[in-house]
Amino acid sequence: MKNYIPTNPDLWNGRISEKELYLHEKVHHINITETGIPPFSEQAYAILGYACDEGVRRNQGRPGAVDGPDAIRQQLSKMPNHLSEDTTLLEAGTIQCLNSNMEEAQKSLASSVSRLLELNTFPILIGGGHDIAYGHFNGIKNYLTSTGKNKTIGIINFDAHFDLRSNTLGNNSGTPFYQIAQDQKLENQKFKYMCLGIREDANTKSLFNTSKNLNVTVIQNKRFNLHHLANLKIKLERFIKEVDYVYTTIDLDGFSSAYAPGTSAASPMGFSPEIVLECLEIIKDSEKMISLDIAELNPSYDRDHQTAKLAASLIHFVIHH
């Protein structure tokens, strides 16, 4: 893949302990374009970047998310390592968007995700615009199809936006789940989509109508907080029960800008990290989560790396629970 690059090991740095007390001392670098890599027998997490904000630009958002993956890596690398000795943390490189060809980047991302699943790893993708979701989902679907598993993939999206815009005029960061829905319909497959944190002030009436027509499970932001945790747990578990695998995607612009100022569409009206952590724990406990991505980090607008640290902490939580 000409748009794939291995990660510079110097990005992973921090305090030196010589006892693997920090994640930069734990991580192993692999080049997923190389053949002969054996599947991992124990628990393995693989970090894969998606350096693309072409979808954001097409969606009239603020460019800058192309630099998101490395900004997250720099914060994650410094964090303490509590993983067991038989758990592997992998750095798997980055898919770039060359010559504004987002669609080609998504295809390469899909094949890379399939490759990581073939290696028996849990992919953790870092972006990049939310168009990461289209490539990511197709990578999961292609992997399951290649193994003869006709399984239902449920999408759980932590986000202020549905990202269900029609792609009649082209694909962008606001169209990935609409594209997935249309593909699933053509293939007579179920479209199972749950959105957590949706805001009325961030979505048009037509998008709410689209979500209704597609039977999307919607939790609006006014009910996406710890006060409604008991009811959220019931709805989450019900959704998870209806699918075979869960693909989890987190759009950082869903968080309040008090926590995540460095995004393509920041707003003070978003949700808090605490409710996301509670929901992630429920999803992890189901043992159905097959992969995760975190999208829309825009370092150009970050303050004191606050949003990058949030993204890194979310990853840290997932790999340690």
Residue set of the binding site for Mn(2+): 130, 159, 161, 163, 251, 253
Residue among 44, 63, 39 at smallest CA distance from 52:
63
Residue type present at position 91: E
Beta-carbon contacts of residue 283 (< 8 Å; ≥ 6 apart): 156, 236, 240, 246, 248, 289
What type of residue sits at position 228? Answer: H
User: Does 139 sit behind a cis peptide bond, omega within 30 degrees of 0 on the bond before it?
Assistant: no
Cβ distance 253 to 209 under 8 Å?
no
Which residues make up each annotated binding site?
130, 159, 161, 163, 251, 253
Token pair 């749950």: residue = 194
Tokens of 18: 């010589």
Q: Are 247 and 291 in contact (CB under 8 A)?
A: yes
Task: Give CA–CA dist 28/24, Å, rounded.
Answer: 9
Q: By CB neighbour count within 10 A (0-12 exposed, 13-18 middle, 19+ buried), where does 65 fall?
A: buried
Contact at 8 Å (CB) between 63 and 297? Answer: no
Positive or negative, the CA dihedral 65, 264, 304, 308 is: negative
